[in-house]
Amino acid sequence: MKMKMIRESFGIKMGSLILCLAVSVLLFVNLFPFYWVFISSLQPNLEILTGRTRLIPSNITLTNYANLLFETAGVTAFRHYILNSLKVSIAVALLSTLIASVGAYGLSRYQFYGKEFIGRMLLFVYVFPTILIIMPAYDLMAKLRLVDTHLALILIHTTLAAPFCTWLLRSFFDSIPGELEEAAAIDGCSKFKSFLHILVPLAAPGMLTAGIYAMVTSWGEYIFVLVMINSGTKKTVPLALAAYMSHVDIQWGRLLAGSALNVIPILVIFLPLAKIFLKGFLEGALK
């Protein structure tokens, strides 16, 4: 009896030891590359290029960031790319949320033929490789004379993000009982008004999540920017960084700083919402 207890408590200890080990390895593998890039970006370019980058640097400098942001390297300084990226991704976030909330409202509140089919299509469209959409999208934008404009990027990124946003929002709308709107209708409230004053405030976390999802999608998107944008002044951050990377003599200091500036804003705005996002995602996936 005593032996069994000892063995059991040993088993529990082993179990938690393995769990502890697994969690540590997981965290290390997931986070260390980020630490390494970030800490490298804070060291002088000369030390980086001579292979003397340290894990724990003795002196920290922001010169890489200053060089990147205030020097006019090539056609235009990096801060313009950041502004371009911000402009496009915020527009995409607003437009996608608008489209998605209207679409999700329809899917959630109306009964019509083919409703479930359309609902599934929202996920199904993601089967198509973006690479397949590139040629037709380019053609379309050429016909509309939108090649090399930010409007083209806004429209395309919205197309990429909006179906998933609709999918997310539909489950949020579904979870709000229809009785609220019925009560409002009896009091003489129009459908549009009850959408605006009842559903939108209640689904606000969902709409925020959808908007952030759209923004993150647009901020990091690379292929369409690569195809659509030719002028140096209209590049977004990902395209500019990829161009830096294909230089023969890579300026690692600047590149590292640029990558940190590409990744950190996303982490800052997305991580606090990760829980809502995951919940919405799972509800959409499993319900």
Partner 1 sequence: MEYSGLKNFSSLFKDEVFRTSVKNSLIWTVGSLALQLIIPLGLALLLNKEFKGGALIKTVILIPWITPVVGVSMMTRWILEPQLGLANKILLTSGFVQQPINFLGSLSRALPTLLVISSWQFIPFGTLLLLAALQTIPVHVYDAIKVDGANSWQTFRYLILPMIGSMLGFVFFLAFVWNFNTFSLIWITTKGGPVNSTMTLPVLIYRRAFKAFNMGEAAAIATMIGLFLVIVGFVFFKYLWRRADY
Binding site for partner 1 (CB under 8 A): 16, 18-19, 22-23, 26-27, 29-31, 33-34, 36-37, 40, 48-49, 51, 53, 120, 124, 126-132, 134-135, 216, 219-223, 226-227, 237-238, 241-242, 245, 252, 255-256, 259, 262-263, 266-267, 270-271, 274-275, 278, 281-282, 285-287
Contact 46, 258 (CB under 8 A): no
Integer Cα distance of 242 and 244 in angstroms: 5
State the DSSP string of 133-177: HHHHHHHHHHHTT-TTSHHHHHHHHHHHHHHHHHHHHHHHHHTS-
Closest approach of Cβ 195 to partner 1, in Å?
26
Integer Cα distance of 43 and 60 in angstroms: 6
Q: Which is nearer to partner 1, 102 or 267 (CB)?
A: 267
Closest approach of Cβ 101 to partner 1, in Å?
22
Closest approach of Cβ 209 to partner 1, in Å?
13
Q: Which is nearer to partner 1, 194 or 210 (CB)?
A: 210
Q: Which is nearer to partner 1, 39 or 94 (CB)?
A: 39
Q: Which is nearer to partner 1, 194 or 259 (CB)?
A: 259
Nearest partner of 130 among 223, 58, 205, judged by Cα:
223
State the DSSP string of 209-239: HHHHHHHHHHHH--HHHHHH--SGGG--HHH
Q: Which is nearer to partner 1, 136 or 188 (CB)?
A: 136
Encoding tokens for residue 179? 């009785």
